Chain A
Amino acid sequence: MSTPTKERAAESGPDEVEPFSTWTGRARRWMLKKLPPDKLLPESQPSYVASWIYVFGMGAIASLAVVIASGLVLSLNGPSWWHLSSLGHFVNSTHLWSVEFFFLFMVVHLWGKFWMASWRGGRVLTWITGVFSFAVSIAAAFTGYLLQTNFESQWIAFEAKDALNAAGIGAWFNVANLGQMFTWHIVLLPLGVGAIVAFHVILVRMHGVVSPIDAAESDSQLVNPKEASE
């Protein structure tokens, strides 16, 4: 297992011999310094990452993958398909349930992260991007309901217009305009969610999983890392 100092030495070595002169080279050096490959794709976790609470972030991402896959099938077949085809209706069901699971896992993940105070040790941006993902996901889910082309879409459009008009954006985010809502729901918001979630995950890999509250240098896991290893 290479220690952090060894990794930094390996990176800074070539720097001293040949300084990077291109933007690309410098960017690569910066990226590799922030997130070296064995931090991005590790084979180990700190010993304290041993609780079922840690699976919910992964569950949320897995659910998001199913949301996107089922959404892709729905949008490729057009918004009327699911009313007319039983396969279409089934795919619509998978889209609905994967969304419910997505939020279920994400919220339990949020609860866990709060009670672990996961913003500690310089991880505040991880926390902020997490809450941001939540907010953007809510917007994405909301626009989805508008695309159902059934009674619910009509009612939700009629009700939601009031909040948006009161906030002054109702004309540019017109919930009764199916074409506009389609673009938001299948292009802009999924890209937004994807980008923020990716950034969030990269930050987690960069900083590592936060250590227990009140962990001390005298703890046996730090003093005798090999002996305490499971």
Chain B
Amino acid sequence: MVPLLALAAQDGGTVYLGWGAFTIQLGNFIVIAAMVVLFVLALVLPFPKGRKRS
């Protein structure tokens, strides 16, 4: 399987992913990925039923 995002560079411990001219630093990549994951989870995860209002 061809990786979409390959290790583009590693400069003294700092990891950069990317392809072509588009490199993204690991920290930023993780934050952006986390946002997308949280967004998707928020849409699909079931929400607990509330208390009945009498």
Interface residues of A (CB under 8 A from B): 1, 44, 50-53, 55-56, 100, 104, 107-108, 111-112, 229-230
Q: Does B43 contact A (CB under 8 A)?
A: yes
Contact across chains for A104 and B53 when beta carbons are under 8 A apart: no
Q: Are B39 and A112 in contact (CB under 8 A)?
A: yes
A50 to B49 alpha-carbon distance, docked (Å): 8
Instruction: Select which of B31, B47, B49 is within 8 A of A104 by beta carbon.
Output: B31
Given contacts A50-B50, A229-B52, is CB(A100)–CB(B43) below 8 Å?
no
For A52, what are the chain B residues with a Cβ–Cβ distance below 8 Å? 41-43, 45, 47
24 A-B residue pairs with Cβ-Cβ distance under 8 Å, sorted by A, are A1-B53, A44-B53, A50-B47, A51-B43, A51-B47, A52-B41, A52-B42, A52-B45, A53-B42, A56-B38, A56-B42, A104-B31, A104-B34, A107-B35, A108-B35, A108-B39, A108-B42, A111-B39, A112-B42, A229-B52, A229-B53, A230-B50, A230-B51, A230-B52
Name the distance in Å between A9's Cβ and chain B's nearest Cβ. Answer: 23
Binding site for A on B (CB under 8 A): 31, 34-35, 38-39, 41-43, 45, 47, 49-53
Interface of A, helix, strand, loop or mixed by DSSP: helix
Number of A-B contacts (CB under 8 A): 38
Known A-B contacts: A52-B41, A53-B43, A112-B39. Give 7 more (CB < 8 A): A51-B42, A52-B45, A56-B38, A104-B34, A107-B35, A108-B42, A111-B39
| Top-6 shortest CB links A-B | A52-B42, A53-B42, A230-B50, A50-B47, A108-B39, A230-B49
Please, how many angstroms separate the alpha-carbon atoms of A51 and B38 in the complex?
Answer: 13
Check if B42 sits within 8 Å of A100, measured CB to CB: no
Q: How far is the CA of A44 from the CA of B54 in the complex (A)?
A: 12
Q: Which residues from chain A contact B41 at a C-beta distance below 8 Å? A: 52
Contact across chains for A104 and B52 when beta carbons are under 8 A apart? no
Task: Determine the distance from Cα of A1 to Cα of B53 in the docked complex, in whole angstroms.
Answer: 10
B45 touches A100 (CB 8 A): no
| Chain A residues with CB under 8 A of B53 | 1, 44, 229
Give A52 to B42 CA distance when docked, in angstroms.
5
